[in-house]
């Protein structure tokens, strides 16, 4: 009898714990349909795509948001789960406020799907995007926090693609939804592997029925990474940072995608445990004295000009803080600067990693001709 009561209590405890957990996540479409297959996603963790009969595709994001693409001429399935946002294809007249996604559309040769931009023409380092705006093919519709609702509606916008910054302006997302404009939040910035970010081209490929092109472009970047990753560690230590307008050093957090690029390229980031891994902040602001003690003997400096503007010479770099003159990389002439397009070229992270590897291994830096880094002299 005691064993029976003990068993009952155990079952009751299990049921009570199960009942107190998170709400059960709705799987599938909610109408009994089963997917025929799922997209092969290798590095990204913040999205998935499931395919259904008739050309329907279920896109699920890391935050739980779900979207169902409806093939042109097809109807929205009956009894569709209430949390799923239907997107009628062709998906067009997009308002793109997620700057890092523009190069993914560009790589798919589908800038025609974008009608509105959250960045003005002179803010683009992607030539095709800038030229499209100068021609009037893409119009400026206000930044993510101040969208031009009237222009968005009059342009027949069927989707707003936002960055995670929209989380600081949730009322904007709510307003767009109220106006009948669904919002998809690009969460590539949460990916810690560089190819995870680039792999988001597959999501937009699914959205635009360009899966084959997306796979082709992604595979090219993956091949660049495989090429350098197979060569192992170079033993070179690397400092990646910029100097803020207030004189502080702003360095990348350890473990984020940029430090991962340095690792894959065969380098060793000078900061092993910088920043809180539990936060989404990608950078850490530190005083020069702390930076000096850690990075002075770094073999290579990669100065991040994508934030504060390009530095053209070593003299200009030292003007930001003369203490940098004591650094080993400055004395040996191994100081490199990123081009300002670094954060807009999400689709070129494999190539950027290959260029980092070239910097770490070059016998003669003068022989290098790179697209995303240049040497300071």
Q: Confidence class of residue 26 from pLDDT cuts 50, 70 and 90?
A: low
The two structure tokens encoding residue 216? 């082709």
Looking up tokens 């070179």, which residue turns up?
Answer: 236
Question: For residues 363 and 272, is the Cβ–Cβ distance under 8 A?
Answer: no
In the structure, what pLDDT confidence band is assigned to residue 27 with cuts at 50, 70 and 90? low
Predicted confidence band of residue 9 (pLDDT cuts 50, 70, 90): very low
Q: How confident is the model at residue 16 (pLDDT cuts 50, 70, 90)?
A: very low
Mean pLDDT over the full length of the chain: 90
Say which range, 198-202, 277-281, 371-375, has the weakest mean pLDDT.
277-281
What's the pLDDT score for residue 274? Answer: 86
Least confident of 138-147, 153-162, 272-281, 304-313: 272-281
> Which CB contacts under 8 angstroms, 24+ apart, belong to 148-155?
149/175, 149/176, 149/179, 151/116, 152/95, 152/116, 152/176, 152/179, 152/181, 153/179, 153/181, 155/93, 155/95, 155/115, 155/116
Supply the pLDDT for residue 12. Answer: 35
Greater confidence (314 vs 9) lies with: 314
- pLDDT tens profile 65-106: 999 999 999 999 999 999 999 999 999 999 999 999 999 999
Quick: pLDDT tens for 103-113: 999 999 999 99
Put simply, whether the predicted model's pTM sits higher than 0.95 gets the answer: no
Exposure letters 212-230 (e unless 16+ CB within 10 A, then b): ebbbebbeebbebbeebee
Please, what is the Cα angle at 132 between 119 and 308, to 5 degrees? 35
Long-range contacts of 144-150 (CB under 8 A, 24+ apart): 144/97, 144/118, 144/169, 144/172, 145/169, 145/172, 147/95, 147/97, 147/118, 147/172, 147/176, 149/175, 149/176, 149/179
Q: Is the pLDDT of residue 262 over 50?
A: yes
Q: What is the pLDDT of residues 273-314, one digit of tens each?
A: 887 777 777 889 999 999 999 999 999 999 998 877 778 999
Domains of the chain: 37-221 (3.40.50.1980), 232-375 (3.40.50.1980)
pLDDT at residue 150, as a whole number: 97
């Amino acid at each position: 009898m005691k064993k029976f009561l003990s068993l009952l209590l155990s079952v009751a405890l299990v049921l009570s714990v199960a009942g107190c957990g998170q709400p059960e996540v709705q799987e599938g479409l909610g109408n009994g349909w089963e997917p025929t297959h799922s997209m092969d996603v290798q590095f990204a963790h913040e999205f998935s795509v499931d395919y259904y009969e008739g050309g329907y595709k279920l896109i699920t994001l890391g935050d739980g948001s779900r979207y169902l693409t409806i093939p042109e001429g097809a109807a929205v399935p009956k009894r569709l789960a209430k949390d799923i946002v239907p997107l009628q294809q062709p998906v067009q007249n997009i308002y793109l406020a997620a700057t890092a996604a523009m190069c993914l559309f560009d790589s798919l040769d589908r800038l025609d799907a974008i009608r509105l931009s959250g960045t003005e023409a002179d803010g683009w380092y992607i030539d095709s995007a800038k030229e499209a705006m100068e021609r009037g093919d893409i119009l400026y519709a206000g930044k993510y926090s101040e969208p031009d609702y009237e222009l968005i509606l009059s342009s027949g916008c069927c989707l707003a693609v936002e960055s995670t910054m929209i989380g600081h302006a949730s009322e904007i997302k709510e307003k767009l939804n109220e106006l009948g404009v669904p919002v998809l939040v690009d969460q590539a910035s949460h990916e810690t592997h560089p190819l995870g970010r680039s792999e988001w081209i597959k999501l937009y490929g699914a959205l635009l029925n360009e899966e084959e092109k997306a796979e082709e472009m992604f595979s090219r970047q993956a091949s660049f990474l495989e090429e350098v990753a197979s060569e192992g560690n170079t033993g070179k230590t690397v400092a990646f940072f910029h100097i803020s307008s207030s004189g502080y050093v702003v360095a990348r957090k350890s473990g984020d995608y940029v430090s991962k690029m340095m690792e894959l390229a065969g380098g060793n980031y000078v900061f092993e445990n910088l920043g809180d891994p539990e936060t989404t902040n990608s950078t850490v602001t530190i005083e020069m004295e702390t930076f000096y003690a850690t990075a002075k003997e770094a073999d290579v400096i990669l100065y991040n000009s994508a934030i504060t503007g390009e530095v053209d010479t070593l003299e200009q770099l030292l003007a930001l803080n003369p203490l940098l003159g004591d650094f080993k990389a400055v004395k040996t002439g191994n100081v490199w600067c990123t081009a300002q397009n670094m954060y807009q070229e999400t689709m070129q992270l494999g190539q950027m990693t290959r260029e980092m590897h070239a910097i770490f291994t070059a016998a003669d830096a003068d022989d290098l001709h790179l697209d995303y880094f240049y040497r300071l002299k």
